[in-house]
Structure 1
Amino acid sequence: MPLKQKGEPVIDWTQYLKSGDRIFIGSNAAVPNALIDNLIANSAGLHDIEAVHILTLSDNVWAEPQHQDLFKINAFFIGGTNVRQAINEGRADYTPTFLSEIPKLFNKNILPLDVALIMVSPPDEYGYCSLGVSVDIVSAAIKKARFVIAQINPKMPRTNGHSFVHLNQIHAHITVKQYLPELPEPEVDQVTEQIGQYVAMLVENGATIQIGMGNIPSAVLRYLANHKDLGVHSEMLSEGIIDLMLKGVINNRRKTFHRGKTVASFCVGTRRLYKFVDGNPHVEFYPSEHVNSPVNIARNEKMVSINSAIEVDLTGQVVADSIGYHFYSGIGGQVDFIRGASLSKGGKPIIALPSTTKDGKISRIVAHLTEGGGVVTSRGHVSYVVTEYGIASLQGKSVRERALELIRIAHPKFRAQLLSDVRKHYWVPEYQENTPTSVPELGKIAIKRFTFADSEYFLRPLAPADERKLQEFFYSHNKETLMMRYNHHATQMSREKSCNLVSVNQHIDLALCLTEHDDLGESIQAVGRYYYLKASNSAEVAFVIKESKRGKGMAKALLSEIIKIAKIRGLSQLVACVRRDNAPMLKVFENAGFIRKPSEDYDEVSLAYTL
């Protein structure tokens, strides 16, 4: 809030403003509260002034009911309880617009601006003030408004980039100190922490990231500490980037656009962040039409966008600005960055959200969208959805595959109902009987990274959505492999058979796979499983490794995980039957401690491992 100054000047608003005009109010942490107070105090005779703005971290006094005769609010992004309440009571309007395109509304006089109310730093020796922590759409408002009125705030940092405005562009100003609003780093609970870990697994070394505000982005940044050569191209900067930049994790060396610079359009945090960006030559602020341009975003290779949602349906549609009919936030930059990351070479657009509401009573992965809920990001834009239960990969997936992937990362107590709901629409065939299950023994994060021969692979449970991947894996085998695994010349892996093999009740049986990620997507390279034998409290183990991946240690890694899980589950023994001429697989089992046992079939070797 503004700090009252003695002899504070009073602006003659009648020179710049008349009833029915449209004003722009500065954004985010740079709301010129002293100007608003000054205008309200000297508003005699003024009525029906339309106030346009995006998120405003302020008491938003102009949205209070007592000022509805003076101000008519039109928000491009809803923030603050009183602004949200005004909209949902019909006293204010919400205009859904991509953040990258709001400047166009001003530039093309679709929403012509009469006055822009902004906050700036004191001018330097050359007469230039800095827009400081909020360049975003403020820059466009300054260029198109008939009059620019500024609150010069000695507490405003001077930021670099395209953040400057000369005094001769400002028609009137007052100097009032105002501490910038602070948003401390949010506390991260267990659910959010797990989401952060999963998202961090999708971020490769050398990637450029976009990060937003809230506990999920904060959690993601915590788990990037061991990454290398990350870059930042983001509409917003938060507190979490500071330590990563100081440690050299974020160094922008491998960026392919604005190399060497952390790029944003605004920042929100505590005084520590505001001090960090003040005069920092390694951080540059640019207008939203530049930072949020999908074309510019895509110029960063390995661009990773991380955004949240209110709910996601089983086809991948994302609701992010409303809860039913109640508008909650806005489109913002989500679609800009989702689209930009999709166009980026090696890019990954990610939607991350908890699987349920805070009270755990409502699933946020839904069979159909809540009535009144609006789609912000279409089902065609989403590549990854992440909850605390894992990563759903949707790119190139059919509706059936998407539904199964998303059910897998839904909260377990809602999975059966979600599967039942999608059956009504024939999205999932009748032979898909089991809901996806997890392997809790793998730990809270049910994906593990492995490196074999300098290439990275992921170990995870097989899931119903892997039906087509398992078919592709089967048809990649040569006749020798098929004979070794199935003991006959198998020639077909039908859709129904593949579905049966991936629809495993992982709480009883076990099926793990090692997958590889490349520009073609994810492919299965190895499968290890066991079948539980209740009568003896034991399990029979089997493996298949892709021919080109043998001898790298994949079977050893899978077997090691299987043994660990079997011990945790209290099994008494693991057994295996291996063709006598399959020397490499026999070696894997024997090196792991399996002992040969008498076999009734001369062509097979029986092995056992006592747990």
Structure 2
Amino acid sequence: MSAQQGSLHSDGKSVHWRQLLKSGSRIFIGSHAAVPHALIADLSAHSQHLHDIEIVQVYALGDNAWAEPEYTQQFKVNTLFIGGPQVRRAVAEGRADYTPCFMSDIPSLFQDGILPLDAALIMVSPADEYGYHSLGVSVDIVSAALRSAKKVIAQVNPKMPVTFGQAFIHKGQIDAFFDAEADLPEIEATELDAVTERIGQYVSLLVEDGATIQIGFGNICDAVLRYLGNHKDLGVHSEMITDGIMQLMQSGVINNRKKTYHQHKTVTSFCVGSKALYDFVDGNPHIGFYPSEYVNSPANIARNDCMISINSAIEVDLTGQVVSDSIGHQFYSGIGGHVDFSRGASMSKGGKPVIALPSTAQDGRISRIVPHLTEGVGVATSRAHVYYVVTEFGVASLRGKSIRERALELIRVAHPKFRQQLLDEVRKHYYVPNYQTIKSVEVPELGNVGFKELCIDGHYYDLRPLNPSDERRLQEFFYSHTKETLQMRYNTVPTQMSREKSCTLVSVDQATDLALCIVRQKGSAAEIQAVGRYYYVPADNSCEVAFVTREIHQGKGMASRLLDEMISIAKVRQLGHMVAYVRAENHKMLAVFERAGFKRLASEEPGEVHLKLSLADGS
């Protein structure tokens, strides 16, 4: 490697491109932040005799000049993931091709001769004392490309970090070298808006301490990482890592000590971000860079218990189908590792595949939650692969849900101005019956995330609003009651809770009336433990309150917690007073009301106690 910097050489002798390539060759260029730009520029400048060189690539950070129209006779891009405006424009104009594929499958396209490579143009660090160069910040599919290509041509960059894992190639495997020092392209973090912040907050609530995470790229994923700052013992198995991962590792939130696969090590295949990130991975023994066929293998991903995959999307239909690579007929990005990790997380013990996206696009003019997929788009992730869909309006839980239940869950997290339209559209296909209605489902008085976590008798529960997708849960709750409980709550013993009746009870306009529940949530499974309601009485600006609690929890304080919350909300809404009617023999419920300050009044009904709490005086 004694030849002059800035020229091709091998064994100390100059090499010309005509000795390495011929017209019609297919070449691979390094990916993400490890694109050998100086090497490609040299190829462009010294290969006028070459024509129709097919460039196979994924996302290439930096200027993709080879995709511009002036290079049409020289190069033809075939991208396996669309990234950057130049490549996106070339695909849209038909000057470049897009080949959709899973990131985990790309190596086999090279190795099986489906996309045979004549050369791989890569970027590496200088060789160590043993003659090994590091692939640095991108091992991903570069590893498979250099093993499959007939020729390997490397830009040797002193600024390329040395990374560990399966990140090395011996100098004897490289056919030609090009010495060129260059800064790695950086991606700066952007300011997060309120919508993105809220989505990040909701997603973080799905991540338990000790979980292993995979995170995608973009503002939403940055927001998620910011809200994981108070978590403990997180692990990482992700095709990419960013500055947010680095910061959580530095703070000790990510320590990988509870991982069940590659314990004590962050596993990735590439990184993109700031110079600080590139410095962080340089020589860092706590991070392993491995090939995509290894990192993105759903079977390997699933070996991590509590695997949480977090990815964004362009749109989601009301059955749960996810679009991530196209906007209508226009191809926008690619499938990448989205499906690999959704599948792997769904196979993991305690795993959760999560899709996060804003509820609207184009400055709020269109909904990203749609009744049917836009013409021309392709499904990246099937409706069976997604457990959670998160917007700024909450978390939709889809696992094990019928089409009707999925539609109701997704409408609930759609933007309020589109909810009725979505319901009307989905009814045309009989997914949702005519009696189902959508009303205001948010209770902002419960705080930013719309629910509160409770610890009762050593167990954790969520106190949240009832919503239309709770229809079946409310049925199950009703049929769990004894005759005595039904008698105390309804003053009779009803024998049926039909779907229509249950639907009426969960379709509450929470802006006027109030219906709260305490739910035991285990992953995608939820069971109602208690329900509290008040019905607004406009005539005197009051409300009537009622409760029912599952028998095994009676006497544990659930009714009191619900009542306290409802009193607080009623005061914020400036109601004058609350009333309740309780059977005289229901001593436990009477005690709940009286502890909250309710006073007994004369009742017109024998055997019934009338109670009242004045709110206007601040009591």
State the TM-score, normalized to the length of structure 2: 0.96
Q: Does 1:250 align with 2:254?
A: yes
Q: How does 1:81-92 map to 2 (within 5 A)?
A: 81-92=85-96
Match of 1:342 in 2: 346
Among residues 143, 146, 153, which one is paired with 1:142 in the alignment?
A: 146
1:370 and 1:310 mapped to 2: Cα distance?
11
The 8 Å contact of residues 58 and 80 in structure 2, kept in 1 or not, is answered as yes
Measured after TM superposition, the shift of residue 6 of structure 1 is 7.4
Match of 2:12 in 1: none
1:135 and 1:386 mapped to 2: Cα distance?
31
Measured after TM superposition, the shift of residue 569 of structure 1 is 1.1
Q: Does 1:479 align with 2:477?
A: no
Measured after TM superposition, the shift of residue 587 of structure 1 is 2.0
Q: Does 1:180 align with 2:178?
A: no
1:556 and 1:226 mapped to 2: Cα distance?
30
2:136 and 2:591 mapped to 1: Cα distance?
65
Q: Does 1:97 align with 2:98?
A: no
Q: Unpaired runs of 5+ in structure 1?
A: none
Match of 1:241 in 2: 245
The 8 Å contact of residues 387 and 524 in structure 2, kept in 1 or not, is answered as no
For the aligned residues, what is the CA RMSD? 1.4
The 8 Å contact of residues 212 and 238 in structure 1, kept in 2 or not, is answered as no
Measured after TM superposition, the shift of residue 519 of structure 1 is 5.8
Higher mean C-alpha displacement, 431-440 vs 395-404: 431-440
Q: Does 1:512 align with 2:516?
A: yes
What secondary structure is seen at the aligned counterpart in 2 of 1:305?
strand
Amino acid at match of 1:32: P
Match of 1:433 in 2: 437
1:100 and 1:359 mapped to 2: Cα distance?
35
Among residues 435, 446, 449, which one is paired with 1:445 in the alignment?
A: 449
What secondary structure is seen at the aligned counterpart in 1 of 2:34?
coil
Among residues 529, 534, 539, which one is paired with 2:543 in the alignment?
A: 539
Aligned residues: 607
Measured after TM superposition, the shift of residue 501 of structure 1 is 0.3
Higher mean C-alpha displacement, 596-605 vs 419-428: 596-605
Among residues 577, 582, 585, which one is paired with 2:581 in the alignment?
A: 577
Measured after TM superposition, the shift of residue 468 of structure 1 is 0.6
Structure 1 stretches of 4+ moved >6 Å: none
Match of 1:8 in 2: 6
The 8 Å contact of residues 408 and 436 in structure 1, kept in 2 or not, is answered as no
What secondary structure is seen at the aligned counterpart in 2 of 1:117?
strand
The 8 Å contact of residues 528 and 544 in structure 1, kept in 2 or not, is answered as yes
2:257 and 2:458 mapped to 1: Cα distance?
23
Match of 2:11 in 1: none
Give deviations 1:36-63, integer Å, cap 9, x for gaps. Answer: 0110111121111110111110201110
Give deviations 1:115-139, integer Å, cap 9, x for gaps. Answer: 0010111111111111111111001
Q: Unpaired runs of 5+ in structure 2?
A: 9-14
Give deviations 1:303-333, integer Å, cap 9, x for gaps. Answer: 1110111011111111110000000000011
2:552 and 2:164 mapped to 1: Cα distance?
51
1:32 and 1:372 mapped to 2: Cα distance?
35
Measured after TM superposition, the shift of residue 436 of structure 1 is 5.2
Match of 1:590 in 2: 594
Measured after TM superposition, the shift of residue 435 of structure 1 is 4.0
Measured after TM superposition, the shift of residue 494 of structure 1 is 0.5
Match of 1:382 in 2: 386
Match of 1:331 in 2: 335
Match of 1:205 in 2: 209
1:465 and 1:131 mapped to 2: Cα distance?
49
2:509 and 2:5 mapped to 1: Cα distance?
75
Q: Does 1:109 align with 2:107?
A: no
Amino acid at match of 1:283: I
Amino acid at match of 1:395: R
What secondary structure is seen at the aligned counterpart in 2 of 1:101?
helix
State the TM-score, normalized to the length of structure 1: 0.97
Give deviations 1:332-380, integer Å, cap 9, x for gaps. Answer: 1110011111111111111000000141111111111111111111111
Q: Does 1:156 align with 2:139?
A: no
Among residues 489, 492, 499, which one is paired with 2:493 in the alignment?
A: 489
Match of 1:41 in 2: 45
Give deviations 1:574-597, integer Å, cap 9, x for gaps. Answer: 111122222222222222222222
1:551 and 1:340 mapped to 2: Cα distance?
43
1:548 and 1:152 mapped to 2: Cα distance?
69
Does the C-alpha gap of structure 1 residues 246 and 311 become closer, same or farther in structure 2, counting only changes over 3 Å?
same
Among residues 402, 419, 424, which one is paired with 1:420 in the alignment?
A: 424
Higher mean C-alpha displacement, 88-97 vs 484-493: 484-493
Higher mean C-alpha displacement, 236-245 vs 61-70: 236-245
The 8 Å contact of residues 399 and 524 in structure 2, kept in 1 or not, is answered as no
What secondary structure is seen at the aligned counterpart in 1 of 2:539?
helix
Amino acid at match of 1:524: I
The 8 Å contact of residues 234 and 263 in structure 1, kept in 2 or not, is answered as yes
Amino acid at match of 1:326: Q
Q: Percent identity between the aligned chains?
A: 66
Give deviations 1:417-438, integer Å, cap 9, x for gaps. Answer: 1111111111111111334532
Among residues 309, 312, 325, which one is paired with 2:313 in the alignment?
A: 309
Does the C-alpha gap of structure 1 residues 321 and 520 become closer, same or farther in structure 2, counting only changes over 3 Å?
closer
